[in-house]
Amino acid sequence: MYLFADAEIIDGVARAPYTGDVLVEGARIKRVAKSPDRISVEGAEVVCGGGCALMPGLVEAHAHLSFTNMQDLFESVRLPVEEHLLATIENAKLLLDQGFTSCFSAAAAKPRLDVVVRNAINAGRIPGPRLRAATQEMTPSGNLGDLDTDYMTLPEAVRFTVTCDSPDAFRQACRRAARNGVDTFKVNVSGDRGFEEWGAGPDATVITDEELAAVVQVARARGKKVAAHATSAGSVKMCVRHGVDVIYHAALCDEEALDMLEAAKDRVFVAPTVGFPYTLVHEAQDFGVEHDDATQASLESELASLINGVRAMRERGIRVLPGGDYGLFCNPQGTNARDLAHFVNLLGYSPMEAIQAGTAGGAALMVMDVGQIREGALADLLLVRGDPIADISILQDADRLIGIMKDGVFHKAPRADTGGMCLAAE
């Protein structure tokens, strides 16, 4: 039993922090008291929270735990399954070390990687966040992730995507993934940057209504969620029409797409993944990649469209979540909390709004009792030295995460030498 005493509580819902106490018993929050009320329980270990913020653990809404900071998608194919599993396990721990206690996967780079890691975390065999496990990316041929043309010889166990070219093929891929135990079907509805020569650039919508309807049909029958890669306006509209749960990117929305998202705002989530396009524009050269003038201009245009679109979504009350495609070469794993700062610095969110999106907002997508500090919620908590409302960037500094708790157990326990903390039995 732990008692967090006299902390500045950011509960994921309230408009402003408040000073108070939080009692954790077992895996859940037992009591919350707002100052001047206090909690006193015999036998509780007291964590003195003076000068610290106590907030829910962060939720990564677009996680790729099996992405290894790759510059070339073929790297995921070349990496043997055994080494890939080890890298995924390491990334799971890294995200928990950075304060992410929950992750909604946006695709695994090989079949069952997410499922195996999720099950090992749940069994207590390895440290990591709560994980909603996803399929590989399911895509039509000639699109993002379609890395090979010899489908008969490349072993299924190493493929980056599952390539499907009919409603029945998508249906079969979903049913097989359900058999493997995934929580989420990931489908590429649009193209992406770099695939323009195939007619599959970011403004292209590359699957049919019937194909996407087949994915959603299997998901609804089996209690799974559907996540979609959808950059083009047409792909966003298709996703809304068919009831996709979370739409990723949505960078090129037109007014009709925004209107449709607003009409569906009580059921749909958008995770714009601003982190990767931002680093592509501003930081790729730091990782040895130089864009030609035309590519740079195209990337800047897409980023500007994304920023303007998300600002409009915020004004319309559409649920927008942090999660920025971390695990790619200029957007490395473990820097995921940058997305919260991007929400503030680029997208017009206040620090409190960004934190709420990254806690309670993400928890709604996870459909788990996390993301809030309230009585009865699961005790996934961060004790932060300093004030993230005054400076959202401190959430990027793991040294400031004095305490990281998941399920009422400290993954990282506070120490007496970390900012005047004390841990003692009451």
Task: Annotate 89-148 with DSSP letters as a single string.
Answer: HHHHHHHHHTTEEEEEES--SSTTHHHHHHHHHHTTSS---EEE-EEEEEE-SSSTT---
The mean predicted confidence, pLDDT, of the chain is 94
The C-alpha R_g of the chain, in whole angstroms, comes to 21
pLDDT digits (tens, 9 = 90+) for 33-50: 999 999 999 999 999 999
User: Could you give all domains of the chain from N- to C-terminal order, each with its CATH number?
Assistant: 2-56+371-425 (2.30.40.10), 58-366 (3.20.20.140)
Flag whether pLDDT at 98 surpasses 80.
yes
How confident is the model at residue 149, as a pLDDT? 52
Tell me, what DSSP letter sits at residue 419? S
Residue 426 reports pLDDT greater than 80? no
Tell me whether the omega of the peptide bond preceding residue 36 falls within 30 degrees of 0, making it cis: yes
Q: Please name the amino acid found at residue 218.
A: V
- Quick one: pLDDT at residue 420? 43
Residue 152 pLDDT grade (very low, low, confident, very high; cuts 50, 70, 90): very low
> Residue 349 region, left (φ>0) first, then alpha (ψ -120 to 50), else beta?
beta
How much is the pLDDT for 142? 86
Lowest mean pLDDT, pick from 142-156, 281-295, 383-397: 142-156
Q: From the CB of residue 283, how many other CB atoms can be counted at a distance below 10 Å?
A: 12
Position of tokens 């966003």? 236
> What pLDDT score was predicted for residue 89?
98
* Averaged pLDDT, 236-256: 98
pLDDT in tens, 123-132: 999 999 999 9
Q: Where are any strands of DSSP class E within 158-312?
A: 161-163, 184-188, 225-232, 246-252, 269-271
Cα(55)–Cα(392) distance, integer angstroms: 13
pLDDT of residue 404: 98
pTM of the model: 0.95
pLDDT band at 78 (very low <50, low <70, confident <90, very high): confident
Residue with the larger pLDDT of the pair 73 and 58: 58
Distance CA 376, CA 360 (A): 14
**Measured CA angle at 30 (ends 323, 54), to 5 deg:** 45
Mean pLDDT value across residues 223-235:
98
Residue 395 has pLDDT above 90, yes or no: yes
The predicted model gives 167-183 an average pLDDT of 97
Question: Which is more confident, 142 or 353?
Answer: 353
